[in-house]
Amino acid sequence: MSVAVCDTGEGSVLPAWVTEKFSGGIAISDDTVAWMRSATTLFYAWHWYGAPAEATDAVKNAQAIGHDWDMPTFATEFSSCDAWNAAAGAEISHTYWHYSSYCNTAAYYFGNLTVPAETFGACILGWAGGSSSWDCSN
């Protein structure tokens, strides 16, 4: 089983030069970083919602942490094709994920269904902000 190690927040914002000079384990114990470096089933999951400003910089930042921790990186959330294309260009795993569009508990949008008997999902995290029709293949 693979297990994600991730930052909280909306971007891979720790600059690559900081990781390269000081380590990506800021505020993580040395024992934990050593364990992460030796584990064979971990990956670094990262997001990009515009911070840093360029998706290519987010990729570089994520790659620096992945290199420092000796684990692959995986872009798991983002808001544009810029991150998709930057990750693909760097041969980093990436996927579009938007849980919030897969629910029907936003009462007035779905006809005031009764919760939980007639509903599913949580409609959180920016409900309906995503789009299942995005195509970043260009």
pLDDT for the residue 34: 93
- The string of DSSP letters for 28-41 reads S-HHHHHHHHH-SS
pLDDT digits (tens, 9 = 90+) for 36-76: 999 999 999 998 888 899 999 999 999 999 999 999 999 98
pLDDT for the residue 135: 76
Q: How many angstroms separate the CA atoms of 16 and 92, rounded?
A: 16
pLDDT digits (tens, 9 = 90+) for 6-38: 876 777 877 788 877 777 777 788 899 999 999
Mean pLDDT of 88-106: 77
Predicted confidence band of residue 124 (pLDDT cuts 50, 70, 90): low
Is the model more confident about 29 or about 112?
A: 29
Q: How many angstroms separate the CA atoms of 63 and 103, rounded?
A: 33
Mean pLDDT of 105-114: 73
The model carries a pTM of 0.73
Contact 44, 62 (CB under 8 A): yes
Is the model more confident about 132 or about 93?
A: 93
Is the model more confident about 88 or about 107?
A: 88
Domain spans of the chain, in order of start: 3-97, 99-138
* Backbone torsions φ then ψ of 75, nearest 5 degrees: -75, 115
Structure-token pair, residue 110: 């779905």
Q: How many angstroms separate the CA atoms of 133 and 33, rounded?
A: 39
Q: How many angstroms separate the CA atoms of 131 and 138, rounded?
A: 17
What are the residues whose beta carbons fall under 8 Å from the beta carbon of 100, sequence distance 6 or more? 121, 122, 123, 124, 125, 126, 127, 128, 129, 130
Name the residue type at position 126. Answer: G
